[in-house]
Structures are given as C-alpha cells and as structure tokens.
Structure 1
C-alpha cells in the first residue's frame, strides 16, 4: 500500500454497486477499487456483474476465499446477506485483510461476539461498520452538542420511525425476506439498524428494554412489521422506539429532552433546538405562586425561558457512504479514528435482539446481562417452525 488501499467489493447487489461506483469515481480518495466478488456464477444477474467488473477494469471473482488469497485486495467491503456478515468478516480478518461491514454486524449477539474475538486476535487488521448515518451532518452536529455537555443530562427520548413502508411485492420478491431463517427478522434487522445505532450513539447504550412486537401484523410475513419498545438509558433517562413497515404516510421524528434543552429532529434533515436559560429544574423552582396559578390556563408566558433555533440540512445520496469509505481507508493508511468501530455494531444488534426477546417472552430484558444463548435458542425455535432454513449456532 502506498497512498491508497486496494478495495474489493463482496456482493454486487444494489449496495455493492454503489460502493464500487463511489470508489471507482474517486469519491473515497484513500481507496482504489481492485476487485469485485459475485459468489453465484449461475445467477441470472451474474452476466451483469461480469459486465460491471469489465467496465470498471477490475477482475470478478466467484469465490470469496480465492479473492482474499489472490493478493489483489488489501481490504473488502462486505454486502452479503445479513446472517453471513460475521463469517465473511472473520475469513478476511484471519488473512490480514481489512473489513468494512455493511449493517447489521450480524443477526444475533453470539455470532457478532465471535467475530469481534477474531478481530481482537488480529489487532493490526481494521474492522469497521458502514453506519453511514453517522456521517449525516445533522447527526454529526447533534452528537457534538450532546458530548459538549451544553444540553445537560438526557431525561427522555423518543423515535417515531414509521416511514419504512414496504408493499407485499417487496416481501414476495425473495423467499428470505422477513423470514427468521433467511433474514433473521423483519424491520428491526433490515430497515431500522441505522437508527438503532444512531440512538445508542447519541444517548448511550440502553440498559433495559420492554417491547411489544406484531408479527405479520399487516403483511404476510412471519417476522415483525410493527414495533413499540420502551427503554431505559444511562442516568435514568427513558426512551420509546416505534417503527413499522405498514404506514403508507409514515413519520421520522426524533425527540430528545435534556435538563437544559429540547431537541426535535424531523426526517433526519431538520433540527429544532430549544435552549433553556437555566436547568429546567431551577426554572421551575423560581416561579412564584402567582405565576404558577397562570400556568394551567396558558396565560403564563414560558417563552421567556428559552430560545429557539431551526437548522436545515441536506445530504446527497452516496455522500455519507463516501465519507465512511474514505474514513475506513484513512484509518488503515494513517490511523485516522474510525467513525463507526465494529465493537459498536454489537450494541445495536443486541438492542434488536432484546426487543425480539422481550416480545417473545413478555419480559423486561436487562441489556447489561443479555443472554445471547437464550436469544439464539428462541430464534432457532422459530427457524425450525418455518422449516425452510437451517438452524444457527
């Protein structure tokens, strides 16, 4: 390696083609596209993959291990089916090939932990996550403000995320979609992982979870298409997460209430910040009895205690992915800190697992002592009941 890392793209679907295009057109300057891998030479799309590779001037491998051992790649970005993410990552890491892994890190905590153990045995090899929303300028700004302490302690947060509408034909397009054995779940493992990651990135790793899920509620699928979860975050902060794939209109609304501010994020592109003149508790203590009597009727003017600011953001398709790709390459070349280390991928996987497990058992789940073996046993019961895929270990 000189001033660029040679990158292989594993899986030439929608995401794989995007990454290949971004790197080949110079939008991640620290990387150079050097290979593609399409594992099934008999697939209907394989000729298209071959044409893509030829057009980009790179070899097309049909065997992943052969590509890793070819000497053509220093690093790979992995976009294979979710269940295979940890295994493919471990194969590369054991060969000293750096890995950028598409979300999620895996389907269940046990397989992600095994992958992280392999990575720990090879500390010179980079393992990172493609959590591209962490490069959304809105969330970059919000994370910076939270970490600065200017908002004070988090009290409460909610994310209403119902804009993932998917029609029946989407689920019918592949037998693995929203199945327990083929995909590992529904909206929590396919559409929502980015927001689960962002939520814990902004608020801290959740401590407890209680969830109600609907399985095949408004879609003919075995897995969840509707989720309502209540969480406990560090510092006694509470949280509510609602998501689904059956809301035709849909909403993306994140609220965060702090001691000294209230933040509203809409559509992940607009942020309204209310900054308080003091800690809300001190403001409440300062109100006289006469003024307090005016509060219920709305006659008391609370606006004197806060200022408001609204910020609008734009984020072109592919821009966030380019930043994550380039950050990955720069980390390999000069140690630039990773935006999304792979260790943090385990938190969002376990959060989705906890929501599943709470719904299956009807119990409150402690995430600080999460039982990966219990989760896998319950998941395998559902896979066996489907009868279409092998159970997992």
Structure 2
C-alpha cells in the first residue's frame, strides 16, 4: 500500500473538517475516497465541495465498495461502535471520533471486534498531539514530579449557548447523544487525565442536569477521584460559564505544576517535600522553591491533522499509534462513572465498573424522557472550539 484511501461516515461539523483537511492534501499519502451521510443536504454539500469523491447514503454500501482502506466514524456518539464493528467486518481499518461510544458495554464489543479483525484501530484524541501535554506526560513518567498528591482540573471554558443545544436534533438528550458536557465536550480531557495520571480507583460526583439550559443532560459537573496509592483528584467542568477557566494543577512531592493558557509553570522544590520533612527540625520550615517555566511549544500541535498523519504512518510503516482506539474505553469509563455516581448517590468503582447496571439506568432515562426536538441540522466551523 503506497497511500491510504480514506472514507468518512458523517459529514457534520467534525466530518466536514476531516474531509476538508484530507481533500486539501494536508495529510500526505491519504486521499479522500468516499463520503457517507444519511442527510440529503449533507450529501448535496459533499457533491458540490468534493466533486471527485463518491458519495453514499448507506455506510455498509460504502464499506463494501472496495474504494476504501480506512474509514473515520464521525457520526453521533451512539453510532460509533456499531459502525466501527461493521467497518471491521468489511475488512477496513478504523478511526473513531470521540467519544468511543456512549456506554462502556458497547465499547467493549467494539474493542473485541477490532481485535478479531486484526485491523488498525485509532481514535481521534487530537489533544495527545499537543506539545504541552506530551511534555507534561514525559515529566510525570520520568519521575521529575516525584509522587503526585492531588490533581485539580477546572475546565469551564466550554461555553455553549442554547443555540448550540438546539442546532441538531441529536444534541443534548439521553436518547440521541447519551449525555451532555461529559460525553460531548470533555472526552479529550478525560482521556488526557488517564493518559497522564492513570485510572482512578473510584469516583464520587455531584452533577447538575439542565442547570443553565433547557436540556435534560448534564451541564455542570464536580467529580472527586481516589487512586489506589492515595492520590486524589477533583475534576470540575461546565458549559454554562463565560469566559470560563482551563487550569490543571498538580500538587506533587517536587512542588506544584500548573498548566494554563497552554503553558507549563513549575514551582519546583529543590528537595522533595517528603525528603525535606524527614530531616527538617524547624517548626515552620519549608523546602526551597524555584519558579520555573517549562519549555514546550505552545501552538497546540498538529491536532486532528496530526492524528490522521500518525494513523497513515502506522498503516503504511507499522509504527505504533499515538492514540489507539482500544484506549477509548478508559476515558469513557471515567465519564460513565461520574454519571453513575450522580445517579446512584454513591461511589462508582472503576476497577469493577457495573457496565450492565449503567446501561439499565441510561435506558430508564431514555424511556422517561419527554424531550421533543425540532427537525433541524446546522453545521458550523469547529476552529478554536477544542
């Protein structure tokens, strides 16, 4: 294989972004070879803007066409696993958009299908290409922070007005989206959380549903996480605050690291706090601390194009993926656990997560929903929204 023939299922906001990038040649050795959307208006758009590219109404027909080597699933969330499974069964390599799915049980099925197929499986976790987070991960894994005591991430700059929630029939309901801020805006950060710090042992959360908007799903979230080694974390997110905040703070043996405005600052102890405490005899003694700016590119990295380039390289050369699709279940498990804790009023155990019970409660919420949405489909430029 000298180039990757690439298809897109779902020509909404993100699918259109991917189509434009590939069609414009921004991903070397990848060509746009097929587009599928069930909406007549989006198929018309595809034919007008990508005239040489075959357009399909049925995904399975496109999968069986012989025109593709790989496909990205860029549909509403519930459809990610079944479409990915169908693509694997058709012998295609797959990238799924985030989130991996809505509930963990369906993602476990998708992962099993991927493994059975032997095909390459990726997920569009484009924030893993950001040099700031890559540098932070290297610092953690190399032991430069020492033991991590506490993690606080406040990310409330996801402001989404009512017009956003009303822009598509599938947005912001249990039946068609499967959640709100956690399942839509936050999958990248929940993935980064586990990519940086690993999976927590258990979660307790407080979640508000329709606090700021006329929606039935969550728009304000506070979650408390505990790790096996005693590390704790607090994750706060909302879509109803403007301008909002994005600040990640890590308290560790070697001081305090803050990621804000896509920059890393490090109040670095000259000596580990634990080592200092072991020999200090002064009542109000404290370690000497230096203010440091950690060097890292602040341009955000290649983002979506970077993931597509990485996937193409892996498919053509056998290199390892930066964002394997199998890892999508990790961030989703954190998301599901936050919901589950809020729904049940207790701790959610991530080591033994109750996949079936979560699905049962979600089904009850779908069955009891009274939301009726107008038939409307609006797409918008996604630049500067992630």
Mapped partners of 1:90, 1:280: distance in 2: 50
CA contact (8 A) 2:273 2:287 kept: no
1:342 correspondence with 2:325: yes
Mapped partners of 1:46, 1:68: distance in 2: 17
Mapped partners of 1:348, 1:86: distance in 2: 15
Q: Report how far residue 387 of structure 1 moved.
A: 5.1
CA contact (8 A) 2:132 2:300 kept: no
SS of 1:190 mapped into structure 2: coil
Mapped partners of 1:236, 1:248: distance in 2: 34
SS of 1:182 mapped into structure 2: coil
Mapped partners of 2:233, 2:151: distance in 1: 5
CA contact (8 A) 1:92 1:99 kept: yes
1:220 correspondence with 2:214: yes
Compare the two structures and name the one with the higher helix fraction: 1
CA contact (8 A) 1:226 1:244 kept: yes
CA RMSD of aligned residues (A): 1.7
1:61 correspondence with 2:61: no
Mapped partners of 2:290, 2:300: distance in 1: 33
Q: Report how far residue 217 of structure 1 moved.
A: 0.9
1:209 correspondence with 2:203: yes
1:308 correspondence with 2:292: yes
Unaligned runs of 5+ in 2: 373-386
1:51 correspondence with 2:48: yes
Name the stretch that deviates more: 125-134 or 62-71: 62-71
Structure-to-structure mapping, 1:231-310, within 5 angstroms: 231-267=225-261, 269-289=262-282, 292-293=283-284, 304-310=288-294
CA contact (8 A) 2:10 2:73 kept: yes
Q: Report how far residue 35 of structure 1 moved.
A: 1.5
CA contact (8 A) 2:250 2:258 kept: yes
Equivalent of 2:91 in 92, 96, 99: 96
Q: Which has the larger radius of gyration?
A: 1
SS of 1:156 mapped into structure 2: strand
Could you say which residue in structure 1 is the equivalent of 2:138? 144
Could you say which residue in structure 2 is the equivalent of 1:105? 100
Q: Report how far residue 310 of structure 1 moved.
A: 4.7
TM-score, normalised on structure 2?
0.92
CA contact (8 A) 2:122 2:324 kept: yes
